Structure 1
Amino acid sequence: MNRRERGDGALGQDWRDRLSVIGLVALGVGVVIRLIANGLDSWPYAVVGGALMSVWVVFLVRRRRRQDARDTGAEPEDVPAMERRILKGGRPPEDPEQRREMAALVDSRQRRLRRNRWWAFPLLALIFFGTSALWFVSGSVTAGSLALALAVAAMGWLVWFNLRFDRRLTQMRHRLRT
């Protein structure tokens, strides 16, 4: 019997965590981007492409939640609330079972974050800065400069976010131990 069935302190599900909301947001973003890129006349293709992308995003989110739930022993619906609590720097739960689940999630996230860091950043830098270099080589200084500025901003943000998330995970691990 899980916490939801017992009714003792389930973390609850926020409206932002619902797969239908995630799917609708992905659909909206996909349609808007395709309409901007291809023009308003391509709206049927934009809707079909956005719908396919939306299904793919929901599939990936659902699979990740199930995998995290399996790793931590929590319910898949509780994983987003635990992640939000970690990111916001909130207090750890009082319930020992929830503390154990959150500790397992923190360990799992930090392992993945550090394991993938060594290859993800160089690959992203190659893609971002390589795009800029290709624009410069092709003779378009304006596009190359814009791509370079975006590459610097994107890589800076990714490094900052990665370090911030790692720091938050470490802080939560220390709070869970005390």
Structure 2
Amino acid sequence: MVSGERSDGRRRLRWQDSLWGIGVIALVAGAGVRLLLGGASAWPSALLGAVPVAVLLVWWVRRRRVRDAKAVGTEPDDVPAMERQILKGGPPPRDPERRQAMATLVDSRQRRLRHNRWWAFPLLALVLFGTSVAWFASGSVIAGSLSLALAVAFLGWLTWFNLRFDRRLSQMRGRLQS
């Protein structure tokens, strides 16, 4: 038995992949941001404001996993391990059934990534650069320059990450076909 596998052959869920782990991370991050913006004395409202966001995020992740698992013919708990295997570029599974499920997941992710690229990047660029233009128009050169630098850095990183993920999906697709 491979390390991290259960007796039935499926992988054990890592803490950051469990819905509880995702909820706690979202709650801590949301409360932390609200505390930074509102000060430490605002901790009750920060906590109460972060709870609905964490619940919404957990619901969204669960819904996505169930939909993806149904589409590829596997369990929802198997989807994060398959995604991690794709991202890390490990060898494809030997089991023909899991291999087919991973191929279907790769195709689904790549199709969605390429389909949403045409509208998501221009819309995000419009929002980010529009914010910079608004700061400049209001006369705040420092805020405009800072938001422009952040917009360029964020869009550059997002483009690099998107192309890297697309390349990893294509590489896994090639490994699954050979």
State the TM bucket, normalised to the shorter chain: over 0.9
Query: TM-score under structure 1 normalisation?
Result: 0.95
What secondary structure is seen at the aligned counterpart in 1 of 2:76? coil
| Structure 2: gaps (5+ residues) | none
What CA deviation, in whole Å up to 9, does each residue of 1:131-150 have, x standing for no partner?
11110000000000000000
What secondary structure is seen at the aligned counterpart in 1 of 2:98? helix
Shift of 1:126: 0.5
Q: Distance in 1 between matches of 2:58 and 2:74?
A: 20
Q: Distance in 1 between matches of 2:113 and 2:11?
A: 24
What CA deviation, in whole Å up to 9, does each residue of 1:84-135 have, x standing for no partner?
0000011000000000000000000001001100000000000111111110
1:156 is aligned to 2:156: yes
Q: 1:104 to 1:6 in 2, by over 3 A?
A: farther
The aligned runs of 1:16-165 (5 Å cut-off) are: 16-165=16-165
Q: Distance in 2 between matches of 1:46 and 1:106?
A: 38
Q: 1:37 to 1:97 in 2, by over 3 A?
A: same
Percent identity between the aligned chains? 61
Shift of 1:162: 0.4
The runs of 4+ residues in structure 1 deviating greater than 6 Å are none
| Structure 1: gaps (5+ residues) | none
Any conservation in 1 of the 2:6–2:12 contact (CA below 8 Å)? no
**Quick one: which amino acid aligns to residue 89 of structure 2?**
G
RMSD: 1.4
Any conservation in 1 of the 2:31–2:46 contact (CA below 8 Å)? yes
